[in-house]
Chain A
Amino acid sequence: MTLVWLILIPFIGGLLCWQTERMGTMLPRWIALGTMLLELAMTLGLWLYGDFRLPEAGGGASQWAMEWRVAWIPRFGIDVHLALDGLSLVLIALTGFLGMLAVVCSWKEIVGRVGFFHLNLLWILGGVVGVFLAIDLFLFFFFWEMMLVPMYFLIALWGHSGSKGNTRIGAATKFFIYTQASGLLMLVAILGLVFAHHAATGEYSFSYDDLRNTPLSDEMAMWLMLGFFIAFAVKLPVVPLHGWLPDAHAQAPTAGSVDLAGILLKTAAYGMLRFALPLFPEASQAFAPIAMGLGVLGIFYGAVLACGQQDIKRLIAYTSISHMGFVLIGIYAGTQLALQGVVMLMVAHAFSAAGLFILSGQIYERLHTRDMTRMGGLWGRLGSLPGFSLCFVAASLGMPGTANFIGEFMVLFGTFPVAPVVVAVSSVGLVLAAIYSLFLMQRVHYGPAQGEEPLAGLDRREYTMMLGLLALVLLFGLYPQPLLETTGAAMSEIQRLFADPALTSTTLPMRAS
C-alpha cells in the first residue's frame, strides 16, 4: 500500500490546497509544503529501511524491492501494477525534493489563485510519481498523459507573457501538442506490442514482465521501439523534437521551470531505461549508433543556441538540451558505468538546472526582466545571489567536485569502450558548455553596473533554499556512492537485458578497430 500512498498523497494534498484557498493564501502554501515533505520523508524512509544494494541474481527472483498489484480491467489484462526499485526510488525522492523546492520558490512569486496553482503543481508531481512507479503499460500511459494537463494550466495561467510575441498560451499549446502527439505514438506502440503478444500467446496483457518476452520480428521490434523512442525523445528532448522546451521554459513560472527541467525531462530518460531498452534490446542495440548521433547533435545544437540567447531562461533551457545529449549517449552506450553515470547526471542536472532557474526567477523578481542585455554588473548589487549563480554555473559546466562532473565523466568513461569517437567528439561539448555558462556570468553579473539603486539581497528563505541545493550538488559530487549503490542493482539489470550475450555478437558499427 505504501506505493499507492506515494501516488495518492500529492493528489490529496492538491485537493486540500484548492479547497483551503478560501481560508487565506498562506494555508495552501503550507499544505503543499507539508505534502511534499511527507512524500520526501516517506521515500527517505523507504531508502533507509529498504534494501536496494544487493544485486538480484539475474532472471529468477523478482527485480523489485516492493510491488503492489490489483486487477483494473481484467478483460484486457490491465492491472494497477506498481513496483519500486532503486532507480524509481531515487527519482521519486528527487521528485519530492524538487516539488518542495518548487513550492518554496513560488512563495512570493505566485499571488493569484494560490490554491489552484498548488493543485496543479502537486498533481504534476503525483502524475510523475505514478510514471516512476507504474509498470503496467496502460497505467504508465495513463500517468504519462496525466502529468501534461496540470502542466498546461501552470504555463497557461501563471506564465509570463514574454518577449517577441511569444505568449504563455502559445507556449502552453505548443507544449501540449508536442507531448500529446508523441504520447499517441507511444499508445500505438503499446497497443501494437499487446496485439503481438496476443497473437503469440492468445492472452491480452499490459504487464511489463509478460510483454518483455514477446517474440517479435526484427522489423516489428524496430517500429514498436521507434514508437516508444519518439515519445521519450520529445520529452527528453532530443534535438529535432525539442521545439517546445525553450518556449515552455521561457513562459513558465519559476516553479514550472523547476519541475519541467528537474523532473519532467527525467521521466523521458526513465522511460528509455525502463521500457525502450528492456522491451526491445535487439532493436535498441541496432538503433544505438543513431541515438548516440542524435545525442551528439543535441549537445552541440543546444550549446550553440544557448550562446545566442538573450533571454536568461531560454539560455538555461538550451543548456538542458545540451546536457540531455549526454544522457542519451549514456543510455545507448549501455555499459554499467555509463548507465550509472546517466542516473547521476539526471540527478545532478535536476539540481543545477533547478538552481539556475530559481536564481533567474529571483533576478526577475528584482529587475522585472529576463533580458540579459539589460542586466550586467549585478555582482555588487545583489548580495550573495551572484555567488550562488557562480556555483551553479560551475556545476552546469561540469566542474569537478560537483555532481554534474561525476555524471558526465561516468557517462564518458563508460561510453568510451563502446564508441570512442562519439566520446571524443562530445568531449568538445565540454568546451562549449564552458562558453555558454561563462557567457551567462559575464552578461548578467560582470561588467559595469546598469543602475545605482541597491537591490534586495536574498532573504532567509531564498538563502536557505540555495544553500541546501548547493550542498546537495557538492555532496553528490564528492560522495556519490550512496546514490550509486541504490541504483546499482536496477542498472545492472538493465545493462544485462541490453547487452544480452546472445545479442552482443552483432558488434556496433561505431566500435573502433
Chain B
Amino acid sequence: MELSMSLLLPLTFLLPLAGTLILALSRGRLGERASATVGVTSLALAALATLLIALRFIAEPRTYGVTLWQWISVGDFQPSIGLALDGLSLTMLGIITGVGFLIHLFAAWYMQGEEGITRFYAYMNLFVFSMVLLVLGDNLLLLFLGWEGVGLCSYLLIGYYYQHSANGWAAFKAFIVTRVGDVFLAIGMFLLFFELGTLDIAEILRRAPEVWAKGDPTVELAALLMLGGAVGKSAQLPLHTWLADAMAGPTPVSALIHAATMVTAGVYLIARMNGVFLLAPDVLQLTGVIGALTLLMAGFAALAQTDIKRVLAYSTMSQIGYMFLALGAGAFDAAVFHLMTHAFFKALLFLSAGAVIISCHHEQDMRRLGGLWRRLPLAYAGFIVGGSALAALPLVSAGFYSKDEILWQELVTDHGGLLLAGMIGAFLTSLYTVRLIILTFHGETKSDNARNAQAGRGLVHGLPLVVLALLSTFLGAWIEPPLEGVLPAPAEGEELWHLILEIVAAAVAIAGIVLGAWLYLRRHDWLAKRTASGWGARLWAFWNQAWGFDALYDRLLVRPYRRLTRLMRGDVIDGLCGLTAKLAWLLHQGLSRTQTGKLRFYATSMVAGATLLLLVLALAP
C-alpha cells in the first residue's frame, strides 16, 4: 500500500516534467502532432496517477508522506524534497491534473497550425509540474519552488507570442507584480524559520499554537507576510493588475492560469497555513476585507470591458475575491469548495471563449461579435452552462452551491459587511455575465469575421467542453472535497436562516440576470447613448481601466524607477572616482606648462623661489 503511494505521488509531477524534458531537448525535431501527443499524454498519465491515488485515499484517508531526498542540511536548516498528501492536496491535485488535462487536450485543437507547438507544450507541462509540487510539497521551501515555478511558466506562456513587444511586456508585468508578492512570502518564511526553527508545514502548524498566543504581534506579522504572497499570486488588491494583461497568451493558457493553477495558489497557501492564520485574527479580517474590495472592484470593472477574455479575467479576480471572503471568515473549506467549482466553470468559460475566438478568426472584441448562437452551438452551450454557474443560478449550477456556502458562513460567523459585499458582488456577477453572453451570442452579427464563423469539430474540441459543462452543473457540486480533519470544521447555524439566505441569494442572482437581459436586449441603444458622453462616459472609462490602478502604479513606481535608471545609467559613483584621474591630469597639465625650455624663465623662477623660501624662514618665529 505505502510502496505504491510512494511511487504514485512522485509520478504526478515527474510525468509532466518528463514531457517538458522530451520537448525541450528535442531541439525542434518533433512535429506539431508529435509535440501535442507528448504534451497531452504526459498530462493524461498524471491524471490517471491522481485517479489511482484518489482511490487509495478514499479507501484509507490519512496523510501520506514521501521523502525523496534531503535537499539541504545545514544545522537546523533541513528542508527536504518531501511530499505530503492529505485531503486538501488531493483536491488540488485532482483539479490541477484533471482540469489541466482537459485544457491540454483542448489546446491541441486551439493551437493547430501555430508555430512553436513544442515550446507551448513544454511550458504547459512545466506549469503543471510546478503547480503539483506547490500543492504536494511538505515544507515551505519546496512549496516556494513550485510557487516561483508557476510564476516563471506564466511569464513564458503569457509572452508566448513573443513577436509583439506588448505581449512580452504583459508577461514582464505579470512576473514582476507576482514577484513582489513572492518577496513577502519569502520574508514570511525567514520569520517563521527564525521563530519556529523549521520549515516543515505540519511541524509549523503544530508548533505555532505552542509558541504564540492568539493575536501575538509576531504571528500577525508572519501571517501578514504570507497574505502578501497570496495576494500577489491570486491577483487580489493591491497586486491584481497583472491578471487582466495576462490575456496576451493563448486562450488555453488563460484557462490554465485562471482555473487549474496559479491564481488558486494563494487560496491554497492560506488554507494550508490555516493554523497560523487562525492565530492572527486581524490578518484574517484583513483577508476578508481584501476579498470584499476585490470582488466589488473587479465586478464593476467586468461590466465595462469589451474583450471577452478581459471580462472573464475580471470575473476570476472577483471569484477569487469570494474565496478570500470565505478565508477571512475562517471558512477554509467553503473557500476550497468554491475553488473547485470555480475551476470547472472558469475552465469551461475560457475554453468556450477559445472556441469562439478561433472560430471567428481571432476576433475577441465583443463589439465585433454577436449573433453567434446559431453558428457556434457548442460554445454557446458552454457559455450558458458556465455563465449560469458563474452567476450562481439556483439549484442547477455548481456555482450556486459553493457561493451559497460562502455567504452562509459569513452570516454564521457574524461578518455582516462581508456578506453584504458578497450579495452586491453576486448581483454584479449576474449582470456582467448576461452582458457577456448577450453581446457575444445574441443581437446582430457585427463583423465579417463573426459572419464567417466556423464551428470547431472533433473529439479534441468537443470532449473537454462537454465534460467541463457537466461538472459545472449541480453534478460538480456533488463532488465533496475530503477536507475533514485537514481544515477546521465549518461553523453551524440555524437551518431556517440558511433557507432564507438561499432564497435571498437566489433572488439577487435572478434579479441581476433579469435586469441584465432587459438592459442589454431591450435598452441597449439607451445604454450606449448614456455611456457615450458626460458622466456615463467617464464612469465607463474609469471602470474600463479597472479603477485606474495601472495609471497609478505607472505614475508612482514605474516612471520614477525608469527615471532613476536613466539618471544613474552613467554610473555616478564611478564618475566621482574618475575625478581622481581628472585631477591628476590637470595637475600634470599645470606643471608641464612650467617646462617652457626658456632659460630666462627658469632663472627667474629659481630666484623667486629662493627669495620666497628665505622670507618664510626669516619671518617664521
Contact = CB atoms under 8 A, between A and B. Distances in A.
B542 interface: no
Contacts of B112: none
Contact of A416 (B147, B172, B190, B569): B190
B271 to A, nearest CB: 22
Given A243-B573, A308-B565, A337-B75, A431 B69 contact: no
B70 interface: yes
B77 interface: yes
B74 A488 contact: yes
Given A399-B152, A438-B175, A448 B187 contact: no
A431 B179 contact: yes
A447 B155 CA distance: 15
Contacts of A380: 115, 162-163
B200 to A, nearest CB: 14
Contacts of B578: 243
Given A309-B569, A417-B194, A409 B186 contact: yes
A305 B569 contact: yes
Nearest to B169: A442
Contacts of B28: 383
Interface residues of B, number: 55
Nearest to A488: B74
A410 interface: yes
A171 B70 CA distance: 46
Interface string B383-410: 0000000000000000000000000000
A308 B573 contact: no
A401 B149 contact: yes
A447 B27 CA distance: 22
B168 to A, nearest CB: 4
**Interface of chain A: mostly helix, strand, loop or mixed:** helix
B82 interface: no
Interface residues of A, number: 58
A377 B164 CA distance: 9
A257 B268 CA distance: 44
Interface in B106-157: 115, 141, 144-145, 147-149, 152, 155-156
Contact of A340 (B27, B74, B147, B577): B74
A243 B578 CA distance: 8
A384 interface: yes
B190 A423 contact: yes
A176 to B, nearest CB: 13
Interface in B51-75: 69-75
B162 A379 contact: yes
A400 interface: yes
B193 A413 contact: yes
A70 B72 CA distance: 40
Nearest to B116: A380
B566 A308 contact: yes
A447 B162 contact: yes
A449 interface: yes
A427 B186 contact: yes
B466 interface: no
A246 interface: yes
B205 interface: no
Contacts of A412: 186, 190
25 contacts: A240-B573, A243-B571, A301-B568, A304-B561, A305-B565, A308-B566, A337-B75, A340-B74, A380-B162, A387-B24, A400-B141, A400-B147, A400-B148, A412-B190, A413-B190, A435-B176, A438-B155, A442-B169, A446-B168, A447-B162, A447-B164, A447-B168, A480-B71, A481-B71, A484-B74
